[in-house]
A and B are shown apart, each in its own frame.
Chain A
Amino acid sequence: MIRLDRVAKSFPGPRPRTVLDRVCLDVARGELVAILGESGSGKSTLLNVIAGLETPDAGTVVVAGADLAVLDDDALTAFRRTHVGFVFQAFHVLPYLTVAQNVALPLRLAGCDERTAAARVSAMLAAVGLAERAAGMPRELSGGELQRIAIARALVHRPQVVLADEPTGNLDPASAQGVIALLRSTLQAEGATGVLVTHSRTAAASADRVLVLTVAGLAPFEGRLS
């Protein structure tokens, strides 16, 4: 589902920095891969490259059968809209929309008709246990609830790939555990492939495979997870 072949990425500037150096990665359909790494090791850049938000300096990126290098900005945007779901560390739900409207965003963007969208949003909110908060505003929710909204939003349009970056970074251990379990189960239920970037070994433990990103590239994690 996701194939990175010798991907390299550097950032220019007064002190140019190579973030990714000939990184290779293969993620199978339905697999959940966790990537551990120190701050600044390039985890976020790796996710951006997979999402088509950053263009690699070298190497190829193929996601859901599409070679991202041949897509222009509009095509990449359309690709993300259809095939990718995001879960952010800071939730990033829009404060001026209701819970249901936030979850519905990807469907509205895709031009889905209102009835279908409403049914899908209800199903996703039920799946994340927030059906009764559909009409509520984000400011009325806790951090754990906001992240559940974000998971619902990431999966509502049935993307083939979900990219989650530190989804438990802003949560207490109990909420974090619940969110990871929810992410795992919903990914499975929807048949989506996931890439989870995290510092938390506990969170990583729920993945099918755990890798570690260093200057040398991606390698299987060989330590204790929890």
Chain B
Amino acid sequence: MNTAVVQAVLGGAFTHQRGRLALSVLAIALGVALGYAVALINAAAVGEFAGGMRTLSGVADLEVRGPRGGFDEALYATLARDPDVAVASPVVEVDARIAGRDDALVVYGVDAFRAAAVTPALVGAADTALDLLRPGAVFLSPAAAAWLGAGPGGTLTVQSGVRDVVLAIAGYAGGDAGRRFAVMDIAAAQDAFARGGSLSRVDLRLRPGSDAALARERIARTLPPGVVVAAPRDNAATTERMSRAYRVNLNVLALVALFTGGLLVFSTQALSVVRRRAQFALLRTLGLARRRLVALLVAEGALVGAAGSVVGLAAGYGLAYAVLRVFGADLGAGFFRGAAPQIAFDAWSALVFAALGVAVAMTGSFAPAREAARAAPAAALKAGDEQQAFARLRSPLPGLVLLAAGAAATRLPPVGGLPLAGYGAIALMLIGTLLLLPRIAALVLARVPAPRAFAPALALDQLRGAPGQASVSLATIVASVSLMVSMAIMVASFRQSLDDWLAALLPADVYVRAGPAGDSAYFDQRDQQALAAVPGVARVAFLRAQALVLDPALPRVTLLARDLPGDDPEQRLPLVGETLPRRAGDPPPVWVSEAMVDLHGMHPGARIELPLAGRTWPFVVAGIWRDYARQQGALVVERATYVALTGDRSATDAAVWLAPGVTPAAFRAALDARFPEAARAALSTPGEIRALSLAVFDRTFAVTYGLLAAAIVIGLVGLSSSFGALVLARRREFGVLRHLGMTRRQVGAMLATEGAAISAIGLATGLTLGFVMSLVLIHVVNRQSFHWSMALSVPWGSLAALAAALLVLAMATTVASARQAMGGGVIRAVRDDW
């Protein structure tokens, strides 16, 4: 393309609008930075997690696994004799609470000689082979040693039941694996953690020439209920899936920032193009083809996008590094415990986000470019024609169609476990509303009574005469306000529902957990009796948590065996919907969480089978309860039933009702005196659990708030930038008004009125759209992502304060940009024609 033409078209933008272009570049950079940072953090966390799992799986072709509590070790002998199996390596896996800390470390108990042939990373590096078999010896992975600040020659004290087990650190294991874990002899582990006779998994290496798929199919048929066989990579994929919805949601939030950045590019380009309308008309008159003008203006957007992407990628890398150091790989959500990921430059992600940045900026430029190319050159050459670009009201049909499509999309099911249709619905509603903005503005402005004062009246005339202008100024503010409001309502609903849920779930005075972390701590029957006998205790209800495999393709679900009131067991459950009346002859009842409905297709009245103690037992689904603690699903059964079926009388938690007048502190003192081992147990009041839960909730959503704040800043910058550009484009008009006798104050009042009207319309539209979008977030996106429902709770006070603050900020930015544009001899602007 001719350099002179390129210079003529682009030169104006890059020489006279550097400030606004810089803002567009920054907005794109912010979106790209957030997106790339989230992608890097996710890639680091998942990559390290999967890499660690691969290292730990070694050369195993198949893995046999069952409930978290283990399965009968007799199965090992059967598997070892299987004709397709070359080596079978039994493993006991315990998430052991570290004494004195609220942390747990995964301890693998292995048969070193078997493991050496299948999972060499799980074999300790010992001076003598006998060390590997020594009962009290443990080998730490380098990451665990660094984390614990301990090494060979030292000791590791972990909790088993409510007692301590001291292990001697005999060396290292795991080579370069970045995961934190410890390894010890399998018999010693079974003994230390009271897992005698049970295994957590068996790693299988098949004979050369064996068909892994056929072997898997055949072995699966021989396994007892609740025990499954899968390829190690499938297990890694299942684990990765647990955090996928959370990670995808973070990615979507980052894309929201990029989207609002695109809108800023749109408003900047729209106004820039309006300002250069006469210049383009001249070039069109001189022979510049319409398509070429569009291409050049879109290329202008691409340059902005490219610059923003370059800045964004660098900032994103820095942000990812900083966030990983401060919050950890899962940004505080707790999905990747035990992983110690490192940020690495990811060229593919960089390319994707750079392309997204450029694409968003080009898309933002396209509509203004088309508008510029469509303008009739003769008319556009006339002074004052700028307003014509805003005067037309386009058909509302596309906007209405998008809104209808958005409403329809909310009815669609998740795709691959992700609420893609829900996100699509929100995007369609947002874009549809943005397309309808000129109509909405015209509708509202037509109903506003004319003010008596001249300046506000003229402002209203101006807005009524150019409804398209409102859409340009409103686009970013409506997008950011609606997104922020929808998230604020969703988060407030979630928080309130969580609070209500905790209140329903925690009726006792004190809760005692055998160990604050891991699954190595429990109360045996003697401990339970000791706890119940502590003076001041009126009543104790115990709970046994267990993890079961119901579907090899899905993560384990949690089985909660609870002491429930015999006469009305459901009064302690936060049930949602109808419950099934109990009928004689029915199998024992099970109450399932909402995730069990979504993921496992359970429903009230359904008869299901649960694998317990190596057998399947029939249950009937008696009701559905809300569970915010376990998104992979949970089931509640009566503990008496569980004990009768499994013989397992241990408990992991106790709910304690105190006698009248006994305080939790007095109970703690009595507990320490009568049951000293309970010092290792975690004791909390419902208030403390509530405070801790809400603190974790707030920390998890801190990143969300940060991303939303970024969107709001972009929205305000967009409003300020577009309003400033509009004012600049109208300098001649203000000059004329000053000639006719309008004072500076009156012009200022006129602009302030315009700013207030635009901001108010933007806020009202944003609030309304945000409310609708929050319903989609609550009932579609959240439900499909995390499989839990919540009750709508609108934080009216916060929203009102936010709206007022935004209105003031928006007005301040419009007045400031107007003042800036009004300076420098606005009267002389008229002289363009003198």
Please determine whether A90 and B833 come into contact, CB atoms closer than 8 angstroms.
Answer: yes
CB distance from B298 to the nearest CB of A (A): 28
Interface residues, chain B, with chain A CB atoms under 8 Å away = 383-384, 387-388, 391, 454, 457-458, 461-462, 464-466, 732-733, 736-744, 746, 827, 830-834
User: Which residues of chain A have C-beta atoms less than 8 A from B465's C-beta?
Assistant: 95-97
Tell me, yes or no, whether A186 is within 8 Å of chain B by CB. no
User: Which residues of chain B have C-beta atoms less than 8 A from A110's C-beta?
Assistant: 741
Tell me, yes or no, whether A51 is within 8 Å of chain B by CB. yes
Once bound together, how far apart are the Cα atoms of A86 and B739, in whole Å?
7
Once bound together, how far apart are the Cα atoms of A81 and B391, in whole Å?
29
Once bound together, how far apart are the Cα atoms of A48 and B738, in whole Å?
12
26 CB-based A-B contacts, threshold 8 Å: A44-B834, A51-B739, A77-B742, A81-B741, A81-B742, A82-B741, A84-B741, A86-B736, A88-B736, A88-B833, A89-B833, A92-B384, A92-B830, A92-B833, A93-B384, A94-B736, A95-B387, A96-B391, A96-B461, A96-B462, A105-B737, A108-B454, A108-B458, A109-B742, A166-B834, A169-B833
CB distance from A188 to the nearest CB of B (A): 23
Once bound together, how far apart are the Cα atoms of A108 and B391, in whole Å?
24
CB distance from B330 to the nearest CB of A (A): 54
Tell me, yes or no, whether A21 is within 8 Å of chain B by CB. no
Kindly report which residue of chain A lies nearest to residue B383, judged by CB atoms: A90
User: Which residues of chain B have C-beta atoms less than 8 A from A91's C-beta?
Assistant: 384
Contact partner of B384 among A44, A53, A90, CB < 8 A? A90
Please determine whether B732 and A165 come into contact, CB atoms closer than 8 angstroms.
Answer: no
User: Which residues of chain B have C-beta atoms less than 8 A from A94's C-beta?
Assistant: 462, 733, 736
Kindly report which residue of chain A lies nearest to residue B746, judged by CB atoms: A109
Please determine whether B387 and A96 come into contact, CB atoms closer than 8 angstroms.
Answer: yes
CB distance from A89 to the nearest CB of B (A): 5
Tell me, yes or no, whether A194 is within 8 Å of chain B by CB. no
Please determine whether A165 and B834 come into contact, CB atoms closer than 8 angstroms.
Answer: yes
Kindly report which residue of chain A lies nearest to residue B387, judged by CB atoms: A95
Once bound together, how far apart are the Cα atoms of A14 and B743, in whole Å?
31
User: Which residues of chain B have C-beta atoms less than 8 A from A90's C-beta?
Assistant: 383-384, 832-833
Known: A77-B743, A96-B391, A96-B465. 5 other contacts (CB 8 A): A74-B743, A78-B741, A92-B833, A95-B387, A101-B461
Proximity string of chain A (41-61) to chain B, C-beta cutoff 8 Å, 1 when within and 0 when not: 000100110010100000000
User: Which residues of chain B have C-beta atoms less than 8 A from A88's C-beta?
Assistant: 736, 830, 833-834
Kindly report which residue of chain A lies nearest to residue B454, judged by CB atoms: A108
Tell me, yes or no, whether A106 is within 8 Å of chain B by CB. yes
Tell me, yes or no, whether A29 is within 8 Å of chain B by CB. no
Kindly report which residue of chain B lies nearest to residue A53, judged by CB atoms: B827
Contact partner of A106 among B741, B827, B830, B831, CB < 8 A? B741
Please determine whether B384 and A80 come into contact, CB atoms closer than 8 angstroms.
Answer: no
Proximity string of chain A (8-28) to chain B, C-beta cutoff 8 Å, 1 when within and 0 when not: 000000000000000000000
Tell me, yes or no, whether A111 is within 8 Å of chain B by CB. yes
Interface residues on chain A, number (Cβ under 8 Å): 37
CB distance from A43 to the nearest CB of B (A): 8
Kindly report which residue of chain B lies nearest to residue A78, judged by CB atoms: B741
CB distance from B473 to the nearest CB of A (A): 15
Please determine whether A109 and B740 come into contact, CB atoms closer than 8 angstroms.
Answer: yes
CB distance from A130 to the nearest CB of B (A): 18
Please determine whether B741 and A80 come into contact, CB atoms closer than 8 angstroms.
Answer: yes
Once bound together, how far apart are the Cα atoms of A93 and B740, in whole Å?
11
Contact partner of B732 among A44, A78, A81, A92, CB < 8 A? A92
CB distance from B448 to the nearest CB of A (A): 15
User: Which residues of chain B have C-beta atoms less than 8 A from A105's C-beta?
Assistant: 737, 740
Kindly report which residue of chain A lies nearest to residue B464, judged by CB atoms: A96
Once bound together, how far apart are the Cα atoms of A80 and B743, in whole Å?
10
Please determine whether A81 and B740 come into contact, CB atoms closer than 8 angstroms.
Answer: yes
User: Which residues of chain B have C-beta atoms less than 8 A from A97's C-beta?
Assistant: 461, 465
CB distance from A14 to the nearest CB of B (A): 17
Please determine whether A92 and B736 come into contact, CB atoms closer than 8 angstroms.
Answer: yes
Once bound together, how far apart are the Cα atoms of A80 and B827, in whole Å?
13
User: Which residues of chain B have C-beta atoms less than 8 A from A93's C-beta?
Assistant: 384
Once bound together, how far apart are the Cα atoms of A90 and B830, in whole Å?
9
Please determine whether A106 and B834 come into contact, CB atoms closer than 8 angstroms.
Answer: no
CB distance from B739 to the nearest CB of A (A): 5
Please determine whether A77 and B738 come into contact, CB atoms closer than 8 angstroms.
Answer: yes
Once bound together, how far apart are the Cα atoms of A77 and B461, in whole Å?
22
Once bound together, how far apart are the Cα atoms of A68 and B805, in whole Å?
44
Which 7 pairs show the lowest CB-CB distances between chains A and B?
A96-B465, A81-B741, A90-B833, A95-B387, A44-B834, A92-B736, A89-B833
Kindly report which residue of chain B lies nearest to residue A79, judged by CB atoms: B741
Once bound together, how far apart are the Cα atoms of A91 and B461, in whole Å?
19
User: Which residues of chain A have C-beta atoms less than 8 A from B457's C-beta?
Assistant: 108
User: Which residues of chain A have C-beta atoms less than 8 A from B466's C-beta?
Assistant: 96
User: Which residues of chain A have C-beta atoms less than 8 A from B746's C-beta?
Assistant: 109
Tell me, yes or no, whether A222 is within 8 Å of chain B by CB. no
User: Which residues of chain A have C-beta atoms less than 8 A from B383's C-beta?
Assistant: 90, 92
CB distance from A157 to the nearest CB of B (A): 9
Once bound together, how far apart are the Cα atoms of A89 and B384, in whole Å?
13
Question: In residues 143-178 of chain A, which contact B (Cβ within 8 Å)?
Answer: 153, 165-166, 169
Once bound together, how far apart are the Cα atoms of A88 and B733, in whole Å?
12
User: Which residues of chain B have C-beta atoms less than 8 A from A169's C-beta?
Assistant: 833
Contact partner of B739 among A53, A89, A96, CB < 8 A? A53
Once bound together, how far apart are the Cα atoms of A78 and B457, in whole Å?
19
Kindly report which residue of chain A lies nearest to residue B379, judged by CB atoms: A139
Kindly report which residue of chain B lies nearest to residue A108, judged by CB atoms: B454
Tell me, yes or no, whether A73 is within 8 Å of chain B by CB. yes
Kindly report which residue of chain B lies nearest to residue A165, judged by CB atoms: B834
Proximity string of chain A (175-186) to chain B, C-beta cutoff 8 Å, 1 when within and 0 when not: 000000000000
